[in-house]
Amino acid sequence: MSFFSDKLQAGRFVITAEIAPPKGTDVEAALATAEQLRIVDAINVTDNQGACMRMSPLALSRLLVEQGYEPILQVTCRDRNRMALQSDLLGASALGIENLLLLTGDHPRFGDHTASRPVFDLDSVQLLKGVIGLQNGIDMAGNRLASAPRFFTGAAAAPAAEPRQLVIRKIEKKINCGANFFQTQAVFHRPQVESFMETVGNYKVPVLLGVLLLKNTRMAQFLNAQIPGVQVPLNLLKRLEGVDDPLQEGVQIAREMVSWARELCQGVHLMTFGREDLIPQILAE
């Protein structure tokens, strides 16, 4: 299996970050961003994030493999039916991509192709179950594969979402369907992380805390208004408003979140949105 999975299973604190494929055919900028991420353990490659069309993450993930990086291929259920999803997963395995993050995906109405018809043939839980079948050599129609893929499969979690009971129930379903690790949405309130880990820690599945770089007050307000399950508390909004350099204050907030993760979780997933150059500052202890 992957070095990423080896590190998690060995109990090491792991660090992941993410890049988006280009909106076009030129991959040089994406590869330059990846070069800034040599210090992390694995790189998530997003799949039409925010329902905005970009290059296939499968293509960029393969290019990262060729450059010596370890990608985590994000796969969303929004745009493909179960045939296409399974086809892409078999292709990923053939291209040497072992790490997956399986997501239901944002609805197209939130993106740049609002006339696109959503598919959602499966949700993330059903896709996790389908991956187990593929690894056992059986497709979702019950047909036997000529050879079976091997994956290290992750899923998303939203510690700050409500109702809490429903969040935990969905996590249990994902674990039962083969989730080997979780990457969370950003959580800006330490007690929420503590409460979440008190429950989820009992399942012995590694959790990577989502750490999102707040660049300014406007970004924080957008998250509160538009992103379900993510809430920037009032005290952090005031911190961003009350400084001359809100970006550096955002770095400090992110550092605080990383320190929580080092105490409570098994790793962090960094979301820096074009400021990957600030990751060394965020990780500084």
Q: Report pLDDT digits (tens) over 178-212.
A: 999 999 999 999 999 999 999 998 999 999 999 99
- pLDDT score of 59: 98
Could you list the beta-strand ranges (E) of 144-235: 152-157, 181-186, 207-212
Checking if the pLDDT of 226 tops 90, the result is no
For the segment 232-243, the average pLDDT, to the nearest whole number, is 95
**What predicted TM-score, i.e. pTM, was given to this entire model?**
0.95
**Domain at 245, CATH number:** 3.20.20.220
Contact criterion met (CB below 8 Å) for 198 and 176: no
Residue 259 corresponds to which tokens in the numbers above? 């320190």
- pLDDT score of 2: 76
- pLDDT score of 270: 98
Checking if the pLDDT of 1 tops 60, the result is no
pLDDT confidence tier of residue 273, bands split at 50, 70 and 90: very high
For the segment 242-255, the average pLDDT, to the nearest whole number, is 96
- pLDDT score of 285: 76
Task: Work out the mean pLDDT of the chain and round it to a whole number.
Answer: 95
Longest Cα–Cα distance in the chain? 62
H or E stretch at 244: none
pLDDT in tens, 97-147: 999 999 999 899 989 999 999 999 999 999 999 999 999 999 999 999 999
Percent of the chain with pLDDT over 90: 93
CB contact set of 217 (below 8 Å; sequence gap of 6+):
237, 240, 241, 246
Provide the number of structural domains found in the chain: 1
In one letter, which amino acid is 127?
L
Compute the 3-state secondary structure of the chain and give helix, strand, coil in percent, each to the nearest 5: 45, 15, 40
- pLDDT score of 208: 98
Compute φ and ψ for 12, nearest 5 degrees: -80, 150
In the chain, the N- to C-terminal Cα span, in Å, equals 30
CB contact set of 119 (below 8 Å; sequence gap of 6+):
77, 78, 79, 80, 81
Indicate the Cα dihedral angle 102, 104, 105, 109, nearest 10°: 170
Coil, strand or helix at 136: coil
Contact criterion met (CB below 8 Å) for 103 and 47: yes
For the segment 42-60, the average pLDDT, to the nearest whole number, is 96
Checking if the pLDDT of 283 tops 90, the result is yes
- Structural domain span for residue 134: 3-283
